[in-house]
Structure 1
Amino acid sequence: MDKNGHADVTEVPYRSTAGAPPGVEVLGFADLTERARGHGVDPYSPVRVAFHELITVRTGTLRCSLDFTDHEVAEGDWLWARPGQIHQFRSDLGSAEGTVVLFQPGFLDTATAEVARLDQHFPYRPLTPSGAAGDALRSTLDLLDGEYHALGGLPLDAHVEVLRHLLAALVLRLAHQQRATHEDMAHATATEAFRRFQQAVERGYAHSHRVEDYARELGYSVRTLTRATRGAAGCGAKRFIDNRVLLEARRLLAHTDLSAGVIAERVGFPEATVFTKFFRKLSGETPTAFRGASRTLGRGGHPRGTGT
């Protein structure tokens, strides 16, 4: 609930489980369910988490959604949910077997975070690594899982550092596979100007929708940002900002009962009428229509027999 009593997106911070090393957890699906409920979170509700989730399935199929896109994660697949995304499990976690690795954004060293592009926000879909790439990911995960559950085998500080290095190896392999599988050449050759612009938009989209403001903040010309964004994201800088605003608006419309006026304020509009005009122009429908459709589609998404 927000301060006015409206249902809001469930924000889930990282909270270490008692006895677990700080910053990272390696869990089976059953353990994840227990962890969520132990922290007072319905494991099947839509949540916005403040940490990374690496999900892989060994047997069975897991259905889940990330920011309005439904995914089926089958045997051998990996799905990477990033901090800030709206994530929801849509099938019973007991119907499949697999592993979830949770880690805080600051747990890995800066060099690893930069190479793996942990702060990038491209669309994400399940990966199906095959051959040597799949074997390497699985063996790295097995080492990480074994070390995680060997608490007491080393002094705690040494244990945490081993976990950090093993997680870095896993994340770097997975990030490389993700880029090779999903990113087109434009994404792969994204410039430093675009990366800085993307980070600035992520910080400031609720306060400014003007390319000029970001250009001034970053020390680039509007033309440079527009050219860099078109090369990396396939759209102009203004449309990139608008798409980020639209995504957040959709999140709030679908997963809260906040009024259009409150949502307008949260995403940087002076009043609801301006927000409605913006939303209709970009999406082809009103906020009210989108909210109604998303609620209709969302019905029945809760796995049978698992509700709380």
Structure 2
Amino acid sequence: MPSFPLSAKETFRIHSGTTNVRRPRRESRINFRLMMAKNRHRSPREIPEIPFAAPAGTPAGIEVMPLAELRRRVSEDTLARPQRPDFHHLLTLTAGELRHVVDFNGHALRPGSWLWVRPGQVHQWGDLARAEGTLILFQQDVLDPGTATAARVDDPHAPVVTTPAAADAEAVTMAAEHLSREFQALGHLPLDIHMAALRHLLAVLLLRLAHLTVPADSPAPEPDETYLRFRDAVERHFTATRRVEDYAHMLGYSGRTLARATLAGAGLSAKEFIDRRVVLEAKRLLAHGDETAAQISDHLGFITASQFSKYFIQRTGRSPIDFRKGIRGLVTDVTPGQAEQGRNDQKG
């Protein structure tokens, strides 16, 4: 089972990949901040990061299973714990209902809706007893780069839950069913042909989900390159700098250009976009880790713990310690459905 520790005896293989980051020229102060961010030591007791490990005898990088199989393999207590997988979770229900928490937002799933949890997002399962459906787990590198880009698989700001309109629902359901049947047909084709078929079928499903029909009066323009580059730079460097000017410099744009692109692409100012990413990571660490506020402050690139505390209070209305005390009960003692209903749900 690639996504969840089954017992204390299980040993997960931790795959530590490296990312080749193109490094444009920057001012020395930006280089210094990035170096300092890389050299910070992470606490050994943080949110569990779960790597993908395909079951023996199955194609690498992808697994498809019914929720009944998930219930059989993994205990309810294990599923209820917050986890941060390094691979994608795609889930749809065929019957019943399920509540799921992703980054502090509760989402109610019903038949016909789709949940997409991307790598790096922290999620928790609700009660699976009354839910039936299909779970698709995959690593991004099973897709070719063109498909990954077109399907927006690396967009951390994409909606977590979507409900296809009637015009799309049948096609999406058929794509998922075809993918599931092909996965179960292991051995009917040579392994390389079987894997190629799985990649293509997964691509069809993801492209369908990424480009659902929208009402004519609600156009959804494609994000432009400036916004996408800024979004990716923030994801890489938000622990090193929170200054719009630094991102503008490293990307070769003016601050005004970034401001216009971010407003068009995300509906936010560039500064608010950066701040939301920093606050989200702070919340993840406060809720699910054991680091002190001072350690989190250092991890996120603040000079002092008091600077971090002031920053957090200004943007959330609560101190880091008050947030941790309040959220710990929510995360560990109640069902995910009692979390705040996610605002990212996209309904067609």
TM-score in same-fold range (> 0.5): yes
Counterpart residue type for residue 298 of structure 1: V
User: Shift of residue 127 of structure 1?
Assistant: 2.1
Q: Deviations over 1:179-222 (max 9, x none)?
A: 848xx65x634221010000010011111111122112111111
| 1:8 match | 46
| 1:306 match | none
User: Shift of residue 125 of structure 1?
Assistant: 4.0
1:265 and 2:280 aligned: no
| 1:137 match | 172
| 1:65 match | 101
Q: 1:251 aligns with which of 284, 287, 292?
A: 284
Higher relative contact order (CA 8 A, sep 6+): 2
* Aligned-partner Cα distance in 2 for 1:302–1:17: 30
Counterpart residue type for residue 270 of structure 1: I
Q: 1:5 to 1:117 in 2, by over 3 A?
A: closer
Q: State the secondary structure of the residue aligned to 1:153.
A: coil
1:21 and 2:41 aligned: no
* Aligned-partner Cα distance in 2 for 1:83–1:4: 19
On the 8 A contact 1:119/1:199 being kept in 2, the answer is no
Q: Deviations over 1:41-88 (max 9, x none)?
A: 922211111111110001111111111110111112111111111110
Q: 1:72 to 1:166 in 2, by over 3 A?
A: same
1:53 and 2:86 aligned: no
User: Shift of residue 234 of structure 1?
Assistant: 1.8
Structure 2 unmatched ranges of 5 or more: 1-40, 337-348
Q: 2:144 aligns with which of 105, 109, 113?
A: 109
| 1:149 match | 184
Stretch moving more, 41-50 or 28-37: 28-37
Q: 2:325 aligns with which of 262, 277, 292?
A: 292
User: Shift of residue 283 of structure 1?
Assistant: 0.9
Counterpart residue type for residue 171 of structure 1: L
Q: 1:268 to 1:5 in 2, by over 3 A?
A: closer
* Aligned-partner Cα distance in 2 for 1:6–1:22: 28
Q: 2:237 aligns with which of 195, 204, 211?
A: 204
On the 8 A contact 1:6/1:257 being kept in 2, the answer is no
User: Shift of residue 14 of structure 1?
Assistant: 1.1
| 2:123 match | 87
* Aligned-partner Cα distance in 2 for 1:46–1:122: 20
| 2:265 match | 232
* Aligned-partner Cα distance in 2 for 1:5–1:237: 30
Stretch moving more, 234-243 or 292-301: 292-301
User: Shift of residue 6 of structure 1?
Assistant: 6.5
On the 8 A contact 2:96/2:131 being kept in 1, the answer is yes
On the 8 A contact 1:78/1:127 being kept in 2, the answer is yes
Q: State the secondary structure of the residue aligned to 1:98.
A: strand
| 2:114 match | 78
CA RMSD of aligned residues (A): 2.1
User: Shift of residue 8 of structure 1?
Assistant: 1.6
| 2:251 match | 218
What TM-score comes out, normalization by structure 1 length?
0.89
On the 8 A contact 2:287/2:327 being kept in 1, the answer is yes
* Aligned-partner Cα distance in 2 for 1:131–1:4: 47
On the 8 A contact 1:29/1:94 being kept in 2, the answer is no
On the 8 A contact 2:117/2:160 being kept in 1, the answer is no
* Aligned-partner Cα distance in 2 for 1:57–1:261: 42
Q: Deviations over 1:104-138 (max 9, x none)?
A: 01111111111111121225242222424111111
Counterpart residue type for residue 305 of structure 2: A
1:282 and 2:318 aligned: no
On the 8 A contact 2:43/2:291 being kept in 1, the answer is no
Q: 1:180 to 1:122 in 2, by over 3 A?
A: farther
On the 8 A contact 1:6/1:256 being kept in 2, the answer is no
Structure 1 unmatched ranges of 5 or more: 304-308
Q: Deviations over 1:228-261 (max 9, x none)?
A: 1122112221211111000000111111121001
1:173 and 2:205 aligned: no
